[in-house]
Chains A and B, each alone.
Chain A
Amino acid sequence: MSHGELPLFYVFHFYLFGIIAIASALAFVTRKSPVAAVLWLVNTMFSLAALYVLLDAQFIGVIQVLVYAGAIMVVFLFVIMLLNLGHVSEIADARGMGWKLAAGLVGLALLAQVFALTRAQVPEALALPYGTIAQQVAAQGVIAPLAGPLFNEYLLAFEVTSVLLLAAVVGAVVLGKRRGRADAR
């Protein structure tokens, strides 16, 4: 995994999109307006999609744009619109100084822990030869290397996922339905 052989173009864009993702995430957690926060989060997700493409996961990148940035975030915007939460003044957001301090300490501790974890040694024998995924994509196309395991080894999980989605749809409809005397009309 030496970086020396990677083209400068690749490395530059990798860092560029990574930094855009982190900057957008910071902007996202500091915005007062929910709508602005959603749009910054969409920006983070686009940058992550670019990172996925750079990491030889083109299909995941497309799904990221379609499902996350396209569908899930639109649902968030829709709920903000539906509940009329777009105004900043209504919700005095962000907790007090004590909470912020505590959250900062927790964040620092967590960051230290995660960095300690990333230094863990994984047995070299598990690693595939360098560039295996890229070769698979070149030989079979973008989707086939992902679809193979998905519909063979992970078929049961895939089917269970469909049940999960059905349960989520039913649950969302039941929760969102109007009921009770106060607003039954």
Chain B
Amino acid sequence: MLAESLFFSAVLFTIGVVGVLTRRNAIIVFMCVELMLNAVNLTFVAFARVYGVAGQVFVFFVMTVAAAEAAVGLAIIIALFRHKQTVDLSNINLLKG
């Protein structure tokens, strides 16, 4: 089932990337990043079955980092919303050249 897992993981990761590029709602872009993290987790678990349990330990760490990232990222989105009254990324263009 390794090849199938890698296939599902690759497709999910690509969906996440396309979502990041096509959506303008900051929260949805952020959730697409979570989807990409999940796709990588699936790869880790699939490889862990063949090459040893260390992959599952890594999934553990990835989930922790995802939780920390969600907390900080959503706080940033709340701060942005307070500042701009919107989460539309096309309005948040202070650093645009």
Contacts and interface: CB of A to CB of B under 8 A. Distances in A.
Contact of A146 (B8, B11, B49, B53): B53
Interface in B17-49: 17-19, 21-25, 27-28, 30-32, 34-35, 38, 41-42, 45-46, 48-49
Interface residues of A, number: 87
Interface in A21-59: 21-22, 25-26, 28-29, 34, 37-38, 41, 44-45, 48, 51-52, 54-57, 59
Contact of B18 (A52, A106, A126, A128): A106
Contacts of A21: 8, 12
Contact of A41 (B31, B51, B69): B31
Interface of A: 1, 3, 6, 11, 14-15, 18, 21-22, 25-26, 28-29, 34, 37-38, 41, 44-45, 48, 51-52, 54-57, 59-60, 63-64, 67-68, 71-72, 75-76, 79-80, 82-83, 85, 91-95, 99-100, 102-104, 106-107, 110-111, 114-115, 118, 122, 126-128, 132-133, 136, 145-146, 148-150, 153-154, 157, 161, 164-165, 167-169, 171-176, 178, 183
Given A76-B27, A103-B21, A111-B14, 5 more contacts: A22-B12, A25-B11, A93-B23, A111-B11, A128-B50
The 8 closest A-B pairs by CB, nearest first: A168-B68, A103-B21, A175-B75, A29-B19, A114-B10, A172-B75, A107-B18, A18-B8
21 contacts: A14-B1, A18-B4, A29-B18, A51-B42, A52-B42, A76-B27, A76-B70, A85-B27, A85-B87, A91-B88, A93-B24, A106-B17, A107-B18, A110-B14, A111-B11, A114-B10, A127-B50, A150-B57, A168-B67, A174-B75, A175-B79
